[in-house]
Amino acid sequence: MSNTRSAPLVSEFAGDPEMQELVEFFVSALPERIDAIRGALGEQRFRDLQRLAHQMKGAAGGYGFPAIGTAAGALEGTLKQNEQPPLDQVRGEVDALIALCNRAAGV
Amino acid sequence: MAEAVDNPTHAEEAPPSALVVDDSPDVHRLLSARLRNEHLSIISATNGEEGLRLALERSPSIVLLDIEMPGMDGFEVLRRLKDNAATSDVPVIILSGHSTMQDKVTAFDLGAVDYVVKPFEPTELRVRVRSALRLARLVKMLAQRAQIDGLTGLWNRTYFDARCKECVSANDRHGRSLSIALIDADHFKSVNDTFGHPAGDVVLQGIAEALRKQCRATDIACRYGGEEFAVLMPETRPTDALILCERIREQIERVVWSKHPERAVTVSIGLAGAAAKCPLAADRWVEAADKALYKAKSDGRNRTIAVDLVKLAPRIAMAG
């Protein structure tokens, strides 16, 4: 497919009735998380950014969005390994994470 | 005093609950949804300290514990849960975002029963929780079985010794009253010799039945060995314990045995008790009850002899 970059990302649990409400909730709260991540990056609060990435990594997979979880995990890893994180790499990983989040769709 | 399970056959099960210790609200939401149909009530803690407090207060059936948390981490929580006798038997499943070998080894070394990597696969999580609960139930049952006498269903000598020490130390530290009775079937050997060992076994079971009937919920009735039984009566003064012992003695005397209706069985009882703090070790208490039992035998059997250890203690201590 040529348009995978913009195709909606559907939760693995989309068909699971016990999860429907939770997935909707997660997707609807994503803009807030994105704002928080943008804010932390903008002010170079790397500790906060690492915590947000860690939470996102744990949560996204649980709601059926493993790709978002993996992207968040990469960001967390970069921040964890570096006392002074390479800003360009961090920016790139944040952008990739946000791009995936923007594609996440409700059920 | 800890909640006494007086009668092994009536041990009760509390409704099962799972304590979730994780700093992420998402994990709490997800677990609640995933465990909704497991008949588990969910108790939530968002940090290690809160988790430890709730583990003590609510006695959960299982703990689902995150490793990476701000403040006290999951390994430390696990260590403290296992260090405390009140929580050391609760099964703990580690929920971690990491799956490194070292983390897993540490978790199992510290006493975790299982290790699940987040994001968890819901069905797998459910069966792992079920399996941990099943295992915990079996371990508990096994531990209890090892303390129950097979023939009579009463607590056995091992259990008696442990609880006796606890009760004696409660008397020694807090001055709680306590009475201990040793009960021995009179001429038991002749019942065995005359009517056979199966008849003897029925007598032992009958005595156990009388103990179960007469003892109160807080009393601890045990088979001490052979044809000898023991009853621990916490929070009971010797004067009250004497009334209970006499009831036990009378009830046994009245039993009509189907294998030998013409032959009644009697018991002799030695009772040692104290209504106040009494500075004697547990084996000294049992020794005093045993001496009273010997006196009951030599005085003609089928009777209770009681000694008040508060009055007697100085003499016993002097005798060394």
The predicted structure's pLDDT at residue A106: 67
State the Cα–Cα distance between residues B91 and B94, nearest whole angstrom. 10
DSSP secondary structure string, B192-217? HHHH-HHHHHHHHHHHHHHHHHHS-T
Of A18, A55, A66, the CB nearest to B24: A55
State the Cα–Cα distance between residues A58 and B45, nearest whole angstrom. 17
pTM > 0.90 = no
* Å between B117 CA and nearest CA of chain A: 10
Is residue A101's pLDDT more than 50? Answer: yes
Q: Please indicate whether, in this complex, the C-beta atoms of A58 and B34 are within 8 angstroms of each other.
A: no
CB atoms under 10 Å from CB of B319, counted, come to: 6
DSSP secondary structure string, B276-291? S-----HHHHHHHHHH
Of A19, A54, A69, the CB nearest to B33: A19
Q: Please indicate whether, in this complex, the C-beta atoms of B36 and A25 are within 8 angstroms of each other.
A: no
The predicted structure's pLDDT at residue B11: 45
DSSP secondary structure string, chain A? ---TTTSPEEPTTTT-TTTHHHHHHHHHTHHHHHHHHHHHHHTT-HHHHHHHHHHHHHHHHHTT-HHHHHHHHHHHHHHHH-SS--HHHHHHHHHHHHHHHHHEE--
H/E element, B180: strand B178-185
Partners of A12 on chain B (C-beta within 8 Å) are none
Instruction: Give the model confidence (pLDDT) of A42-85 as tens digits.
Output: 999 999 999 999 889 888 988 999 999 999 999 999 998 877 88
Is residue A107's pLDDT more than 60? Answer: no
The predicted structure's pLDDT at residue B34: 87
Partners of A54 on chain B (C-beta within 8 Å) are 68, 97
Annotated active-site residue B121? The verdict is: no
Q: Please indicate whether, in this complex, the C-beta atoms of B97 and A66 are within 8 angstroms of each other.
A: no
* Å between A15 CA and nearest CA of chain B: 14
Is residue A14's pLDDT more than 90? Answer: no
Q: Please indicate whether, in this complex, the C-beta atoms of A18 and B33 are within 8 angstroms of each other.
A: yes
* Å between B33 CA and nearest CA of chain A: 7
Of A18, A19, A58, the CB nearest to B27: A58
Q: Is B126 on the interface with A (CB under 8 A)?
A: no
Partners of B68 on chain A (C-beta within 8 Å) are 54
Active-site annotation holder among B38, B227, B228, B253: B227
* Nearest residue in A to B31, CA atom: A62
Q: Is B98 on the interface with A (CB under 8 A)?
A: no
Q: Please indicate whether, in this complex, the C-beta atoms of B26 and A55 are within 8 angstroms of each other.
A: yes
* Å between A54 CA and nearest CA of chain B: 9
Partners of A22 on chain B (C-beta within 8 Å) are 29-30, 33
Helix-, strand-, coil-residue percentages of chain B, each rounded to 5: 50, 20, 30
Residues 6+ apart with CB under 8 A from A93: A71, A74, A75, A78
pLDDT tens per residue across all 320 residues of chain B: 333 345 554 444 568 899 999 988 889 999 998 898 888 999 999 999 999 999 999 999 999 999 988 899 999 999 999 999 899 999 999 998 777 899 999 999 999 999 998 888 888 999 999 999 999 999 888 888 889 999 999 999 999 999 999 999 999 999 999 999 999 999 999 999 999 999 999 999 999 999 999 999 999 999 999 999 999 999 999 999 999 999 999 999 999 999 999 999 999 999 999 999 998 999 999 999 999 999 999 999 999 999 999 987 666 666 54
User: Residue B273: what are its φ and ψ, rounded to 5°?
Assistant: -150, 165
